[in-house]
Amino acid sequence: MAFPDPTQQLLVRRYTAADSAATWRVFHDAIHGTASRDYTPQQVQAWAPERTDLDRWNQVRCAAHTLVACLDETVVGFSDVTDDGEVDMLFVHPDAGGRGVARALLTQVLREAAAGGHQRLVTHASLTSRPVFERFGFTVDAARVVHKRGQELRNFDMSLLLTGDAEHRSDGPVG
């Protein structure tokens, strides 16, 4: 997936079942590409194996309030917020990095969470995504280790109190 044209229009929209395979590919490629700088090959493979059950993936995406980011109709990122206020996913395809995709997604997720009555959001940020969440005002509550398919992966419990100014939180490029 390559995006040589910097004028491509970024669109954030609601996830549909037709986005299942594309969001899985973004998840997989973001972990095998971007996150591989912070995790070992064994950890990366445990976190994002080559295949998944797309029906189950779709069920999870539908259960959360999932948004997708598209460049010229190609899904390049996605994020979500669950009913209990967890930002469970924020992934951007490595070829779309640096275009404000994560910023656009997280800004919209925060707006929708605030509009839905959430006063506090939580996330379990990877080593890779922690700086993105910090730019939006999330703070680290605890470092933790999670176990995935026999591997230990470090991440961070983070939280954010919503104040209604989500669109102004990010002060630098993310993507």
Query: How high does pLDDT run on average in the chain?
Result: 90
Q: Find the helix packing angle between 20-32 and 54-63, rounded to 10°.
A: 100
Sign of CA dihedral 121, 13, 129, 131: negative
Nearest CA to 64 out of 46, 90, 41 is that of 90
- pTM value is 0.89
Nearest CA to 26 out of 139, 86, 85, 105 is that of 105
Residues 62-99: tens digit of each pLDDT: 999 999 999 988 999 999 999 999 999 999 999 999 88
DSSP, res 90:
E
- State both tokens at 123: 């996330």
Residues 100-124: tens digit of each pLDDT: 999 999 999 999 999 999 999 999 9
Percent of the chain at pLDDT > 90 equals 83
User: Given pLDDT bands bounded at 50, 70 and 90, which one contains residue 163?
Assistant: confident
Query: What CATH superfamily is the domain 10-168?
Result: Gcn5-related N-acetyltransferase (GNAT) (3.40.630.30)
- State both tokens at 40: 């070992």
Domain boundaries, the chain: 10-168
